[in-house]
Every structure is written in structure tokens, then in C-alpha cells.
Amino acid sequence: MLELFNKYRDTESYQEALLVGRNLFNKNPGNAAVFNEYFSLLCEQSQSSANTIDSRRQFISQAEVALAFFSENAELDAARVEEIKSFEGKLTTIVNAFNEEVDKENALAADKTSKENNDGLALLEKLRDKLRGLSNKQEFDKVLGQIGDIDNVIDKDAFDTQQQERYSNLTKTCTETINMKLAAFERNENVSYNQQAVEAFKKTFDFFRTNDYSNENHKEIMRGFFAYDASRLFNEALVYYNHVYSYILSKMDDDEKFILTKYAVLSERKEG
């Protein structure tokens, strides 16, 4: 009856041996010889480091089911009762050892995750401080990308209370720093934009003031005058623009004013 089972087990074909053993045991649930061999192999596999934790847990569960099934179907006498109690004790020992091993592995994994989280938080704090001193937008974007990459790999679900408080503070201070720097970059961009605009307005004013209509770049000069978005101009730049525009219009007749106004409406605006 057990020849095929023993053949597979002796050649370490454990998957096949368990299949045969389960089949034999289900057909002979009260047979002590079949149960002993099948139960022993389940116990061995539940303790084998060659198997995954999940597989070993399944083998333990199968052994528990097999033992309960055998206890219900075997012919009982005093000796068999003691034998079953011995199997129960063996299985309890295996379960306790397995749980201790799992708890130890979980604790090691938790320690590893905690250390990685602490390292990640420290690096985030370092990058946040670096952000505060940056004045170059390209470098700022690069560091911001690094912060995002680190934030994505931190295991926030594993935070302890101290790590959670640390991360919450980092989120708050990073957001404040980012908003402050973005506002500063926008201000700097607008300053540069307005400086370019004022230079273009001055060039146009000089062109009309000197009546230098022989200037071959007159089309480019006028295109530059209308190239700036009024919504991005500072009040001072707008005042100067209106002054120059009024001066130009004062030099033109009605038809020329119409043509100039139409040109102004159709002109493309600079973005940066």
C-alpha cells in the first residue's frame, strides 16, 4: 500500500509523495501505518528550511487536519490514545518553534524597515535643508525629484510614533520651503521679464524720439514693444509702457493709429 509513497519520499519527490499519501489516508483514515507515514512527512516538510514560510504553515495546517481526522476514525484503545497524544505533543512543539521563528524573522524585518525609514527621513531632512539654500531653479527641481524618489520608497505604514511625528514635521516644513522657493523663483523670473520689457520699451521710445526711420530693424523694434504680457508687468513697467505708447500715438495720424493698434492686437506675447 505504501510502496509508491515510499518510492517518492526516498527519492525526495516530496510533492508526489504527499499527493500519494493524502490519497491513501483519505481512503484509509483509520489506518495507523498510513497515517504515521503521511503525518511524519507533513511534519518534516513543515520544519524544512527549503520550504517557504507560507508552505510550511500549510503543511502544519494539513498535519493538524490529518491528526484530527485520524483521531475520529481510528480504532481506539489505551495505547492508541497515548499515541495520538504523543502526535499532538509533537505537533504542538513544531507549531511553537515555527511561531517563534516567524516572530523572530518579523522582528528582524521590522528592525530593518525601521532603520531604512530612519535613514530615509534623515536624507529627506538633509535635502529639505539643501532646498532652502538653492537659488538655481534647475538644481531646485533636481533636488525636488530626489525628495519625491525617497518619499516613495519609505514604508510609512511601518512608522512608529516618533517616525510619524518626524515625517509630519518634514511634510510641513518641506511644503513651506517649496512654496517659498517657488514664489521667489517666480518673482525672479518676473523681474527678469520686466527688465527685458523696459529695455524693449526704451528702444522703441528712442526709435520714435530720434525719428530714425531708416533703422532696418524697425519691424523687430515694434514687435518687441508689443511682445510683453501686461498681466506679468509690474506697475512701474506698465506706467512706462503707457508713456511710450502715448508718445508714439501722438506722432501718428488716425489711419496710422488704427494700423498700429491692429498690429498690437495680433502680436505674439513672450512667455519668459
pTM greater than 0.85? no
pLDDT at 199 over 60: yes
Q: Where along the chain do its domains lie?
A: 3-107, 112-186, 188-266
Cβ atoms of 159 and 124 closer than 8 Å? no
Q: What is the pLDDT of residues 229-244, one digit of tens each?
A: 888 888 988 898 898 8
Cell numbers standing for residue 18: 504527499
Arithmetic mean of pLDDT, 29-45: 95
From CA 208, how far away is CA 115, in angstroms rounded?
70
**Mean pLDDT, all residues of the chain:** 90
Buried residues in 37-67 as b, exposed as e (16+ CB within 10 A)? bbbebbbebbbeeeeeeeebbebbebbeebb
195 Cβ contact partners less than 8 Å away, ≥ 6 residues apart: none
Fold of 3-107: 1.25.40
Cα 31 to Cα 73: distance, rounded to the nearest angstrom:
8
